[in-house]
């Protein structure tokens, strides 16, 4: 019998754990190393989502292990009003990588960083209305949850006053089209802000956006969109907040995703990738905005703000990304992975679209619709492929949203080898075949 079937483990889990979304994988994970996690049978499972999209350097990177061991012996946590060298060093390093965003706040999670960013935007502008994309995910707390539209909105009472959403641009299913059928995102954006303007009470504070909407189905903002969005904000006296929780620190083939568009946000939030699997997040903004916030009494005094242990890890993450040239690696490995997935799209009709940038890609599973085209969502097949993949030794996260097919989020560690990419592609092909034959 498999050690993963340990009845005491699962009975205890069922008895004592609060279920927080979805179902648990049918395995007990005992350890992880590099691009793999290992279950109770010591079976390797290729991790194509970097844990929760966070293990940027893979699992157990020796430099991270060394930093944790060294720093925890020195100082791991301090009174929030005290400063340590790792905190100041990380702030300086981040500011060097994002010129103009010179002020940094270090906290623990992505939701926390978005709470701080939105709180700062409201204070500085003196307004309270926050706009986000209809398929966004910015966190499960307070105003971050109010700006999250892809899931979790029903049953929890009122959202924050002044929460607005606009449609996320989707080139695979365009709402507004050019004559050739391609996405007319400019008309869509104009139409969306006309609706926002008609609903606003004149208190638009900020727009918060992911450069690639991850939980929304791996939807990348088209080139040029970010500049147009920034202009919409400028015209209304709004701040632009970019949530680079998943896209930051090299994953898309640029250090930060906004660099491709040459548009620097007013505020940027980082999490997930900057901690490489440990709880670390950051808020970055301009000196002008931070000065204004400070003058108005900006308060975000939390238990783990400016903790030295995660800050030291963040410095090491930046060191490894630089020394191992992982931004370039994300670009070249991402192209290899994209090409491999595109070949699978040519082979299997059920793959409707492959999209994304660098090592952050989405694969949408579809079925034939009434019009004879393979563009209808196929949640059932997507779930079957995910089950087959896990059985075959590959972990891929699938997004299940109304109106969309099952969209696999593929974001392996930047340290993944070509051989491991090939293995993943072969398992995906095998899993699709198995799911289709199972029908």
Residue position matching structure tokens 């974001």 = 411
Catalytic residue chosen out of the listed positions 103, 272, 329, 355: 272
Indicate if 357 belongs to the active site: no
Catalytic residue chosen out of the listed positions 47, 188, 243, 290: 243
Indicate if 137 belongs to the active site: yes
**CA gap 271, 269 in Å, rounded:** 7
Closest CA to 249 of 311, 305, 309, 320: 320
Indicate if 243 belongs to the active site: yes
Catalytic residue chosen out of the listed positions 188, 210, 261, 364: 210
Indicate if 69 belongs to the active site: no
**What phi and psi, each to the nearest 5 degrees, are found at residue 241?**
-105, 125
Closest CA to 116 of 299, 292, 244: 299
Catalytic residue chosen out of the listed positions 254, 353, 409, 420: 409
The full DSSP string for 285-342 is E-HHHHHHHHHTT-----TTTT-HHHHHHHHHHHHHHHHTTHHHHHHHHHHHHHHHHH
Q: Give the Cβ contact number of residue 317 at 10 Å.
A: 28
The answer to whether the CB of 389 falls within 8 A of the CB of 427 is yes
**CA gap 399, 405 in Å, rounded:** 8
Catalytic residue chosen out of the listed positions 185, 246, 266, 388: 246
DSSP lists the bridge partners of residue 368 as: 374
Express the helix, strand and coil content of the chain in percent, nearest 5 each. Answer: 40, 20, 40
Catalytic residue chosen out of the listed positions 39, 47, 137, 251: 137
Residues marked as catalytic = 137, 210, 243, 246, 272, 409
């Amino acid at each position: 019998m498999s050690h993963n079937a340990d009845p005491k483990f699962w009975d205890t889990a069922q008895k004592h754990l609060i279920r927080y979304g979805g179902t648990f994988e049918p395995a007990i994970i005992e350890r992880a190393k590099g691009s793999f996690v290992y279950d109770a049978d010591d079976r390797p499972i290729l991790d194509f989502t970097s844990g929760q999209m966070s293990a940027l350097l893979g699992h157990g990177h020796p430099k991270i292990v060394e930093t944790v061991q060294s720093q925890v012996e020195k100082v791991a946590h301090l009174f929030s009003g005290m400063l340590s060298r790792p905190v100041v060093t990380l702030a300086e390093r981040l500011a060097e990588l994002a010129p103009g965003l010179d002020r940094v706040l270090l906290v623990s999670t992505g939701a926390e960083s978005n709470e701080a960013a939105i709180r700062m935007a409201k204070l500085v502008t003196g307004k309270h209305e926050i706009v986000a994309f209809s398929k966004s995910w910015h966190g499960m707390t307070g105003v971050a949850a109010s700006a999250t539209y892809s899931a979790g909105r029903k049953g929890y009472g009122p959202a924050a006053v002044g929460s607005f959403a606009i449609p996320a641009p989707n080139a695979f299913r365009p709402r507004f089209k050019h004559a050739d059928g391609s996405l007319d995102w400019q008309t869509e954006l104009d139409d969306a802000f006309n609706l926002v303007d008609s609903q606003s009470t004149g208190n638009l504070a900020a727009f918060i956006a992911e450069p690639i909407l991850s939980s929304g189905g791996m939807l990348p903002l088209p080139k040029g969109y970010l500049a147009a969005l920034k202009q919409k904000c400028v015209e209304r006296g709004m701040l632009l907040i970019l949530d680079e929780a998943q896209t930051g620190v090299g994953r898309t083939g640029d250090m930060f995703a906004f660099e491709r568009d040459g548009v620097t946000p007013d505020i940027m939030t980082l999490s997930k990738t900057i901690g490489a699997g440990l709880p670390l997040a950051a808020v970055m903004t301009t000196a002008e905005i931070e000065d204004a916030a400070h003058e108005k009494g900006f308060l975000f005094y939390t238990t783990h703000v400016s903790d030295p242990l995660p800050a030291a890890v963040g410095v090491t993450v930046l060191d490894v990304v630089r020394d191992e040239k992982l931004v370039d690696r994300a670009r070249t490995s991402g192209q290899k992975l994209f090409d491999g997935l595109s070949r699978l799209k040519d082979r299997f009709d059920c793959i409707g679209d492959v999209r994304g940038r660098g090592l952050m890609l989405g694969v949408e599973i579809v079925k034939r619709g009434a019009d004879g085209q393979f563009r209808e969502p196929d949640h059932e097949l997507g779930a079957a492929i995910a089950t087959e993949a896990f059985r075959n030794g590959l972990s891929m996260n699938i997004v299940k949203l109304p109106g969309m097919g099952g969209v696999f989020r593929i974001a392996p560690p930047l340290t993944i080898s070509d051989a491991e990419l090939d293995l993943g592609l072969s398992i995906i092909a095998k899993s699709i075949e198995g799911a289709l034959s199972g029908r």
